[in-house]
Structure 1
Amino acid sequence: MDYLQSLRMFVKVAELGSFTGAADQMNVSSAVATRSVASLEDRLDARLLQRTTRSVTLTEAGRLFLDRVRSIVADIDDVEGGLLAATGVPSGTLRLAVQGTVGAGYLAKLLGAYTARYPLVVPQVIYADGPISLVEGRFDAALTSDYYPHPGSVVVRAVARSQTMLVASPRYLASVGRIGQLADLDRLVMLSHEDGASATEHDSTRRWLDANAPHATHIRANSSDMLRRMALEGMGIALLPASIVAEDIDDRTLMQVLPDTKLPSTGLSIAYGSRRNLAPNVRALVDFLAAQSAYDSLAAPVNHDDIALEEGA
């Protein structure tokens, strides 16, 4: 049996804790998945996985082996995927899941530029109001914030970071009086992001608001666009990525609050199922994002060699 394929199967089974799940993702039968790992164990003369009727866990030898081979397999798959993308023309449907923190206006610009370059690709965009599963949703990729908790079997690549802004409508600001220091926020209405799928300790904007306006009235939504619209309606002060509110600032429908205050930045990541046999349209999107500095002049580009990783590696 192919040695590299056995390594791939072992890594996938170890990450998912399931022969059946690994077989489904690699489009083979459970029997083939079992034989593949068994042949690897025979070759190494070592038990890598402990099987029970309810679970599959790594042995000590399996943990040591996984630590060494996971990055090797990922690197090989990345090289193969790049070569396949270079020889294939991006085309067909691109089914893309999007977390609510990614603004629709920004995403429309991004996809407009992408489809102009790859006119044979037809995007299908689904905004998610809950957990995103690439497998269950049959998504080719997902665009999420950098703190989104993807499972370990998903490849996650950071694209860019964007500065945030505190913004409010002129009408709201006129109604609350002068805001001259951070402490003033505690008596006001803050429009903040809430997403049960991703409200984690890594959400820098949520942690900043909790620390600096703990007693404010918080109106929450799981969509940055919804928070922007609430701000435009004069409902409070929102902490949003600069990329989402740049045009509103320019036309003065929103005003920046406490512009000299140091605020957290937010990140954009793309997640996809595997580096191996990555479809040309997905590979093209990954490379396109990497070249864009995603939020144009509002973002700092990311060193992709340092951050392209397999979540949980």
Structure 2
Amino acid sequence: MDKLSVMQAFRRIVERGSFARAAEDLGVSPALLSREIKLLEESLGTTLLTRTTRSMSLTDAGRLYYDEATGIIDAVTQVETRIREGAGAVRGHLKVNASSSFGQTVIAPILPEFIEAYPDLRLTLSMDDRVVDVVEGGFDVSIRIRPVMPDSALVARRIGTMRQRVFASPAYLKATGVPQAPAEIAGHKIVGFLLAGHLTSWTLTGPAGTTTVDLDPTVRVGNSLVLRDLLIAGQGIGTLPDFVSNEAEARGMLVRVLPDWELPAPEIFAVTASRLGMDAKVTAFLDHLRAALRP
């Protein structure tokens, strides 16, 4: 028995004073309504309506049930109305998760404008270089950078693509020489990214096709911002995503090694737990983020 539907039917019967008129309003047969009310009375163990061929009246229990059911139905209606009215509003608490490097270099710069645009929104940005459980962490969206997203119950929407290239400082290359081919990289000091799938093996694509270089990084770190700073300090050669390398390269602090070669381009995914679509606050945030990712 759908209790809320039965409550609504009972209310309509009382207010219309007739099973027939209530049935017409609800688009069902009077016999069906009569059967539902009988089942309701049986479940409650009492009579709610006394009926004769000419009249119908509420018992004391029926009056109590009517009053309480009316309050419940009105409360549910008010909640539904508030939710519908607020469905397109950017308000509430938005919880975002991202890696430290992406959070600091891409998300942080867009936050002031985003926060000012939506003053009714509360925001939590959690940064973690390891993959977190979106559901357990209570996050509305997690930004993940992967070549592909594994199959799971989560929903991954691609919002951009990054480029992954090889870098070193001018001072390091001046001291050690500039590699002229991928195979020559193995003879250099390597700074590796612990959480990358290419920590000890770089697959590079360039003018001569695709080649794989096996490596044994001298230094291994779990944060690409630290990796960038080590490269700037002349500690070796390493790979960086463009959102981490762009500024250092523009300022001449890093230069590309084998500029015609690069690693496979990972995708940037927005991961959510629900397949029912994103709410307004997540949509607004991702719109801001997509704009920041455009070339």
Secondary structure of the 1:94 match is strand
Alignment match, 1:295: 293
1:161 counterpart residue number: 161
**Aligned CA-pair RMSD:** 3.3
- Give the letter aligned to residue 145 of structure 1: I
Aligned residue runs from structure 1 range 22-37, under 5 A: none
Question: For residues 81-109 of structure 1, what are the alpha-carbon distances to aligned partners after superposition, in whole Å with 9 as ceiling and x for unaligned?
Answer: xx969952212332111135635212212
Task: Report the CA distance between 1:150 and its aligned residue.
Answer: 6.0
- Name the structure 1 match of 2:238: 238
Work out the CA distance in 1 between the residues paired with 2:108 and 2:233.
23
TM-score, normalized by length of structure 1?
Answer: 0.57
Secondary structure of 1:159's aligned partner: strand
Q: Which has the higher contact order (CA 8 A, sep 6+)?
A: 1
The Cα offsets for residues 189-210 of structure 1, whole Å up to 9 and x where unpaired, read as: 2222222xxx55xx6996527x
Q: Give the SS at the match of 2:171.
A: helix
Q: Is the 8 A contact 1:163 1:265 kept in 2?
A: yes
Unpaired runs of 5+ residues, structure 1, are 3-82, 298-313
Secondary structure class of the residue paired with 1:208: strand
Which is greater in Rg? 2
- Decide whether aligned partners of structure 1 residues 160 and 278 sit closer, same or farther in structure 2, where only a CA change above 3 A counts: closer
Q: Contact 2:193–2:222 (CA<8 Å) still a contact in 1?
A: yes
Q: Distance in 2 between matches of 1:256 and 1:119?
A: 42
Q: Which amino acid aligns with 1:261?
A: W
Between Structure 1 and Structure 2, how many residues are aligned? 210
**Hey, what's the Cα distance between the residues in 1 that align with 2:181 and 2:234?**
20
Q: Distance in 2 between matches of 1:161 and 1:205?
A: 23
The 2-side partners of 1:85 and 1:241 are apart by 41
Return the alpha-carbon distance in structure 2 between the equivalents of residues 212 and 86 of structure 1.
Answer: 53
TM superposition shift of 1:233? 1.9
1:286 corresponds to which residue? 286
Distance 2:201 2:272 in 1: 26
Deviations 1:1-25 (A, max 9, x none): 89xxxxxxxxxxxxxxxxxxxxxxx
Give the unaligned 5+ runs of structure 2.
3-82, 205-210
TM value normalised by structure 2: 0.60
| Counterpart-to-counterpart distance in 1, 2:149 and 2:133 | 11
Identity across matched positions, percent: 25
- The answer on whether the counterparts of 1:104 and 1:225 sit within 8 Å (CA) in structure 2 is no
Shift of 1:112: 4.0
What is the SS of the residue equivalent to 1:245? Answer: helix
In 1: Cα distance, 2:115 partner to 2:199 partner: 32
